[in-house]
Amino acid sequence: MTSFAFAAFLLLLVLFALPLLLGFLSGRAYRAGRGRVAFGLLLFGGFVGLLARPRPLGLLLLALGLTWGYAVPRRPRGA
């Protein structure tokens, strides 16, 4: 029984963390000038965000990751 609970916990963790991560990567890609990559990541993040059970929470995490990825300044390569 504990293995099922552990598997369910991992599945929920992925469903909540993946929209945040994909939104972050989409924001970084858009800021780097890779619009098509950013759009693809945003679409997949929206799909995964809709799979999360409380739907507004999954989409909110996607928007939070997108904002976080776009707003965080990039460090120069040499620094």
pLDDT in tens, 31-73: 999 999 999 999 999 998 888 777 788 889 899 999 999 987 7
Closest of 47, 45, 50 to residue 69, by C-alpha: 45
**What is the average per-residue pLDDT within 22-32?**
93
Please say if the pLDDT value at position 9 is more than 70. Answer: yes
3 state SS for 6-28: HHHHHHHHHHHHHHHHHHHHHHH
Contact predicate 42/66, CB 8 Å: yes
Whole-number Å distance between alpha carbons of 63 and 23: 7
Whole-number Å distance between alpha carbons of 43 and 22: 9
* DSSP letter (8 states) at residue 77: T
Q: 74 or 35, which is more confident?
A: 35
The predicted model scores a pTM of 0.80
Q: Domain map of the chain by residue range?
A: 21-70
